Every structure is written in C-alpha cells, then in structure tokens.
Structure 1
C-alpha cells in the first residue's frame, strides 16, 4: 500500500464545509488505495481511518457503514463506457461498442470486482446498506445501458430489428463478456465481439416482409 501518499494530519472536525469535503476526499483516497492493493477485504473502517488520518467519528459522519464506504469507493472508480461513432451500419456500431466494453473488462479489473460485489457480496445488515448497494447497482446498470439504449432505440435500429426486450438484449450482448472475464475462461477480442453481434443480428433482424413498428 502506498502510505506516503496518504500521510495527512488528523481531521476530527468537519463542521466547516471545506473541511468536510477534504475529509471525505481523504477517506475515499485511502479506500481507493486499499481496494486497489488488497481487494474488498482490505477496505475496513480501521484500515481506512488509519491510512487517511481521519478520525472514526468523522468517517461515520460521511458513511454510516463500511458497505456505504465501499459503495462510494466503487462508484468513484467506475470508468466510463464511451459510445461508438454516431454514423455507419448498425452492425459496425454494435461491434465497436461491444469491443470497447470488452477492453474495459480487460483493462479495468475493479470494474469486474464491482459487478461481483454488487451481485454476490455479503447480505446487507441494514436498510441503509441495502439502499447503498441498490443505488450502486442502478448506477452500474445505467452505465451499461445508456450507450446500448441510444443505439438500439435509434430509428435505424428500430427499422432493422424486430421487437425485443432491452434488458434481455443487454444480457445477450454483454453477458458473454462478463462471464468470460469473471471465470477467466478466455479474453474476448474483437473477432469474438463480431461473432456475438452477428449471432444477435441473425436472431433479431427483421424479415423483409415484416413491417417496422
């Protein structure tokens, strides 16, 4: 763990807003370093307060539990999924978007850790912890859905594809990437993304004699 970067004077009074913001930043900086170095188990209340030099009482003014702290840390680390270019055939745009998602899984392992923690982590101990985890799950789902929704709800896609369930489509397209990364079965490359997209289009391409909706 990089302790030198986390040597701050103790801050046990955050009544003034700038001090409150600084103490929250220190806590999240410490939690981020601990998470990156030691995984989820390393992010404990004791470890974060020790590394950040922020008092425990101050931590609890910001975060009601370690679950809330961890959720905030994960959200801070979530990388953005950039949409594909807005022009070109639907197939090319889907392949580009899926390839970017596959690269994200490979190059941002904490992204996959976040998915695993949200889906399979310990049972929350309180209503607040349940809310925190649900909020993070919603944030992750929205992050995945937005670029796909924009593309698949476009007039071009609606004209080319049959009726589909947006949630199921997201599982069909992104699911293989997440499964491959979580299990370590294989690294999904662009050629794999082309196959996934082609299979998807073969199943959902509207027939020539079928009217658009």
Structure 2
C-alpha cells in the first residue's frame, strides 16, 4: 500500500499543517508526474487511481483531497501536457493566418495531446449537467480548467490577429467561432480521419478560401495585392 508521504504523515490533512504546507504541493506534483507518465504511455485508460497512487507512492486518501475523482485527475494530467500557445508571426493578415494554421497542423502531427484531450472531453465526462457555472467550478474544477485551456490554445493567437485594426478593416463583421472552425476545422478533421497531413500549400489554400469568402482577394502567385473589403457592388 502506498505510503501517505515520505515521513508517513498525511500532507494535506485539514487543520494540521495549514494550506501552505509544502508537502501538499509536493504530493500533488508527484501525483501529476505519475498521471502524465501513465497518460503518455497508455492513454487516458491507463490513468487509474490504483496505478497513479502506486507509481507516485501517495495514499489514496491524499489523492482524493487533491482530485475529486479519476476524471479530474486525467483532466489535470492533460492540462499539464498541453504544448505552449504558438506565437503570433509578423507579416500581413494572410501571412499571419497561414503561419498560425501551419503551426496548429504541425502541433497536431508532432504533439497530438491537444486533439486527444478534445476527443476525451467530447466523448467522456459531461460538463453540461450543472445548474450554474459556480457549481461546475466547485465540483469539476480540473475539467473546467482543461476546457478553458483548450479553448485558449486555439483562440489566443488568433485573437491577437483578429482584433487588429487591419484585420477588422479587411474582414468586416464576422462570426468569430465560425471563423476559427473554418480555419482550424480542416486541420483537426484531417487528423481525426487519419488522412495525410496538410502541407504548407494546403494551409495556404484554407486561408485563401477563408479570406475570399469575406471579400478579400489575395493573389496566390507572385506579389500579393493588399486584400480589399467587400462592398455591395462586389461580385
């Protein structure tokens, strides 16, 4: 049976050592080290309470003080393994969008954890069966945090591009969530469908089609003209 901690004492027993006791942070870190190792090797199914406590040498009671259940533990492990958000490149609107789509395609090819986490969230634990955001935050904090971080991964870099005056002038009013789906959706679908990975030219075509649908007409070969905003007289 796993030991409660190195010195045999429970590091997170309420009222004994205080919320700031370093043993609490240490035991959580050991649990997450074990969970991420199991997740990387065997997927979400490998992250069981027994496997994690055994590998981390932490008591089950201690684990349950950090995580309400196994799903919360898996969510925290996924969140820990998410790669950093890609930086926003320099260049005009088209160049920036192409670079971001290419970066997302490369991440899914080389580090598929974000896609795996999305599939697990979509097929596994439900987040819609709560009466309020407060109840969800209280009962499923790790799941909520993972969802927020997944959304942030895809939105933050694009946020920095779409809010610029140049982007607003060229794109006009548009549905932001739909725009993300149009730009990132093909990349995710290609990976889910086990199709050949999208190369740079394919990512360029995705962006060009996105811009063309909003009245921007970038030239694909040779020098690119500055995209224009659609007007009532535009074809």
Q: State the TM bucket, normalised to the shorter chain.
A: 0.7 to 0.9
After superposition, give the CA deviation of every residue in 1:129-172 in whole Å (9 maximum; x if it has no partner).
65543332122112210110110111001111131011110111
Q: Distance in 2 between matches of 1:49 and 1:12?
A: 15
Shift >6 Å, 4+ stretches: none
Q: Distance in 2 between matches of 1:35 and 1:163?
A: 42
The structure whose RCO (Cα within 8 Å, separation 6+) is larger is 1
After superposition, give the CA deviation of every residue in 1:16-66 in whole Å (9 maximum; x if it has no partner).
411111100000000000001111100010110011000001001111111
Superposition map of 1:43-192 within 5 A:
43-85=47-89, 87-123=90-126, 132-192=142-202
Q: Distance in 2 between matches of 1:184 and 1:50?
A: 35
Does the 8 Å contact 1:12/1:54 carry over to 2?
Answer: no
Q: CA RMSD in A?
A: 2.3
TM-score computed with the length of structure 2 as normaliser = 0.79
For the structure 1 residues 69 and 12, does the alpha-carbon distance in structure 2 shift closer, same or farther, using more than 3 Å as the test? farther
Q: CA deviation at 1:208?
A: 5.2
Q: Distance in 2 between matches of 1:41 and 1:163?
A: 43
Counting matched residue pairs gives 203
Match of 1:4? none
For the structure 1 residues 12 and 65, does the alpha-carbon distance in structure 2 shift closer, same or farther, using more than 3 Å as the test? farther
Q: Distance in 1 between matches of 2:50 and 2:193?
A: 32
For the structure 1 residues 27 and 204, does the alpha-carbon distance in structure 2 shift closer, same or farther, using more than 3 Å as the test? same
Q: Distance in 1 between matches of 2:40 and 2:47?
A: 10
After superposition, give the CA deviation of every residue in 1:94-139 in whole Å (9 maximum; x if it has no partner).
1011111111111112221101011111447986665543332122
Does the 8 Å contact 1:99/1:190 carry over to 2?
Answer: yes
Structure 1 unaligned spans of 5+:
1-7
For the structure 1 residues 130 and 193, does the alpha-carbon distance in structure 2 shift closer, same or farther, using more than 3 Å as the test? same
Structure 2 unaligned spans of 5+:
131-135, 217-227
Higher helix share: 1
Report the more deviating stretch, 177-186 or 191-200: 177-186
Matched, 1:27 2:31: yes
Match of 1:5? none
TM-score computed with the length of structure 1 as normaliser = 0.87
After superposition, give the CA deviation of every residue in 1:166-202 in whole Å (9 maximum; x if it has no partner).
1110111001111111221221121111010000010
Report the more deviating stretch, 150-159 or 131-140: 131-140
Larger Rg: 2
Q: Distance in 2 between matches of 1:18 and 1:57?
A: 17
